[in-house]
Amino acid sequence: MTTALPERDGHEAVVTLDRREGPYGEVVLRQRGRDFEIIANGCFLMDTADGRSERLLIQAALDELDRTGGPAERPSVLIGGLGVGFSLAYAAAEPRWGRIAVVEREAAIIDWHRTGPLGAFSGGALDDERVEVLHTDLLEYLAAADGERYDALCLDIDNGPDWTVTESNDGLYGADGLAVLWHRLRSGGVLAVWSAQPSPAFEEALRTAGFSDVVTHEIQVARGVPDVVHLARRAG
């Protein structure tokens, strides 16, 4: 990794730790004080300042499986997006999960967890025998005709249904994408989707796509609208 001279952003020094050009554009890892940030194509994606909503993404899915009896005693979960590692670490800390797959398309982000500073936030989860890291694009993985089905899909992709940095990610939240997600869940399985803002339109899209028990959990943040986790279940 390379370290640049710190640049001033507000009152905190921001240090660029690594900058890589990949098939989806530029990905940057920066440090701001004690926190780390991931920037994609010049747009802020996430940081390590507050992982409450990323942890809720996992907990809400497990609670919903418990509430409905769940399709499996030790359910499997697919996490869409490794990010800064909060969701994966939280899942790996829960012994009730069986298989834990995490899809991440950016090789740089996987490297920052395996050999870089983000490993402190994934907490060694990549070495858990239940965990498999799938280095691929989530939409391509989900669209595979012979794809595996899961008891829970926990997706933290881009900034949510109403604000995507990568244009192709829009397809995940539309009718065709939701049909693919429905198919990749076992009967009684749970879909949890992180978003940087509430989306009533996405709630309605979930119902239209055949999901039931659609609810939205809000997490208040220091500034602006709350982060949310949209939750839904495949009934049939």
Q: Is the separation of the CB atoms in 66 and 58 below 8 Å?
A: no
pLDDT the model gives residue 44? 87
Bridge partners (DSSP) of residue 46 are: 38
- Encoded amino acid at 5, one letter: L
Residue 227's pLDDT is: 86
Edge-to-edge strands of the sheet including 185-195?
Answer: 131-134, 100-103, 77-80, 150-155, 185-195, 227-233, 212-219
36 Cβ neighbours under 8 A, 6+ residues apart: 17, 29, 30, 47, 48, 84, 117, 118, 121
Query: What tens digit of pLDDT does each residue of 159-213 get?
Result: 667 555 555 666 788 889 999 999 999 999 999 999 888 889 999 999 999 999 9
* Separation CA 185–CA 11 (nearest Å): 46
Q: Is the pTM for the entire model greater than 0.85?
A: yes
Check whether 224 has a pLDDT greater than 80: no
Whether the predicted pLDDT of 119 surpasses 90: yes
| Average pLDDT for 112-120 | 97
Binned at pLDDT 50, 70 and 90, residue 8 comes out as very low
- Taken as a whole, the chain contains a residue count of 236
Distance CA 159, CA 210 (A): 24
